[in-house]
Amino acid sequence: MLEGLRRPTELVVIVVILLAYGCPLQAIVPAYGLDERTVAAWQKRAGKHCHQVHHAIVEQGKINAHHMQAAEIRAKGRNMIAWMGMAIAASTRMFLGGVVSIRRDRELADRLLQQVRACCQRVQALLVCTDAWNAYPRSILRAFREKVKKTAGRGRTCLEVWPELCLATVIKHPKKKRVVEITRKITLGPLEKAQELLKMSKGCQEFTTSLIERFTGTMRERLASLTRKCRHAVHRLETLETGMYLIGSPSNFCWPHHEVSTAKYDGCPFTPAMAAGLTDHIWTVLELLSYQIAPAPWVEPKRTRRCGTGAVSDLSIPKRPRGRPRIHPVPDPTLPKRPRGRPRKIA
């Protein structure tokens, strides 16, 4: 992320820290004598890099999460309404991922839960707590399933849901913009197994979505375009996505979490990434911004030969002759060539 920048590295790190904590861009500009477009470009660049770090470390199927919570929030944009879906692991307070979309539909839930599926270990006992959005149950069933071969020989494998998957739905009943009653029910799985998984996640005594709601509250506090009344409406969805990961990735690797650092866990400062076993120390923001992302594996391009309007992959096909076709037959090489030009005059 820091390659090619002309400003000192210390200044870039300070500006990124201020942006991650929600400092207004208009305050950073006069404080450090920077151009507003420069700070906005650093914010976008740092958010993209944090997204790549999240994909390279968190979304590798190494997190042993027994309890996760998911929710979505509404964001105002310029001539649009955007929706952000996010999920965290309840036991480690790990930010598992987030997606941004124009519509609050099944595709949003599918993309979010596919990210959560990429973070979790395979076929484990898992409790998922969500709100009453009706797109969650089917999306969870589509995300947390594995291919199982039941019959020998040829044939398609079956897709079976994880046997110890539980889904708890939290329904809030508001009245005059205040919650007056909360209904909790188990949508999928046995109640005894769900309660057992709830006890394994430290800090939760009942089925609730309070942890993800606190995290979305932090997002609304630190991302200006998510506040209820603001003059910073976003123009593009990319701005929301980069801002979300600019806050989520440092909270995973750089900021010690208060609840995870209590005596209930280990008693010393711990980040969510340390609690999840992804790292053994607290990262600095410079270490996060300097993390080297492995490039995508090189794939040899498929050699093709064009024939007419399409492409031919078989190289054994002879090439089509180029140029205008011959009108006269090919001369016989055994016959002598006809003299060219005017015949010589004999004196």
**Tokens coding 92:** 């480690």
Q: 146-168 pLDDT, tens per residue?
A: 988 888 888 888 889 999 999 99
Contacts of 5 (CB under 8 A, 6+ apart): 12, 42
pTM (2 d.p.): 0.81
Domain coordinates in residue numbering, the chain: 62-235
Between 45 and 342, the higher pLDDT residue: 45
Helix (H, G, I), strand (E, B) or coil at 251: helix
pLDDT value of residue 200: 84
pLDDT value of residue 217: 92
92-111 b/e (C-beta count within 10 Å ≥ 16 → b): bbbbbbbbbbeebeeebbbb
Strands (E), 24-144: 67-77, 80-89, 94-101, 126-130
pLDDT value of residue 312: 55
Mean pLDDT of 268-291: 92
Strands (E), the chain: 67-77, 80-89, 94-101, 126-130, 145-148, 158-161, 165-175, 178-188, 305-307, 310-312
pLDDT value of residue 12: 95
Return phi, psi of residue 62, to 5°: -110, -5
Q: Distance (Å, rounded) from C-alpha 211 to C-alpha 191?
A: 21
Residue that has been written with the tokens 């054994």 in this structure? 316
Mean pLDDT of 251-266: 82
Mean pLDDT of 245-270: 85
pLDDT value of residue 306: 58
pLDDT value of residue 83: 93
User: Number of C-alpha atoms within 13 angstroms, CB side, residue 237?
Assistant: 13
Helix (H, G, I), strand (E, B) or coil at 63: strand
DSSP one-letter string for 172-221: EEEETTEEEEEEEEEEES-HHHHHHHHHHSTT--SS--HHHHHHHHHHHH
Closest C-alpha to 197, from 346, 67, 20, 46: 67
pLDDT value of residue 311: 57
Range scoring the smallest mean pLDDT among 174-178, 212-216, 331-335: 331-335
What rounded mean pLDDT belongs to the chain?
A: 87
pLDDT value of residue 317: 62
The answer to whether the beta carbons of residues 3 and 291 sit under 8 Å apart is: no
Mean pLDDT of 78-88: 90
* Residue 305 neighbours by CB distance under 10 Å: 14
**80-89 vs 67-77, strand pairing mode:** antiparallel
Q: What fold is seen in the domain 62-235?
A: Nucleotidyltransferase; domain 5 (3.30.420)
pLDDT value of residue 347: 59
Q: 292-320 pLDDT, tens per residue?
A: 988 888 888 876 655 555 555 556 666 66
Q: pLDDT > 70: what percent of the chain?
A: 90
Whether residue 196 has pLDDT greater than 80: yes
Mean pLDDT of 48-77: 91
**305-307 vs 310-312, strand pairing mode:** antiparallel
The answer to whether the beta carbons of residues 186 and 167 sit under 8 Å apart is: yes
pLDDT value of residue 34: 94
Whether residue 194 has pLDDT greater than 80: yes
Handedness of CA 21, 95, 99, 118 (dihedral sign): positive
Helix 237-253 and helix 36-57, axial crossing angle in degrees, nearest 10? 60
Between 144 and 305, the higher pLDDT residue: 144
Range scoring the smallest mean pLDDT among 77-86, 93-102, 268-277, 322-331: 322-331
Whether residue 234 has pLDDT greater than 60: yes
Between 140 and 317, the higher pLDDT residue: 140
**Tokens coding 116:** 């959560």
Q: Distance (Å, rounded) from C-alpha 77 to C-alpha 240?
A: 10
Between 326 and 7, the higher pLDDT residue: 7
pLDDT value of residue 155: 81
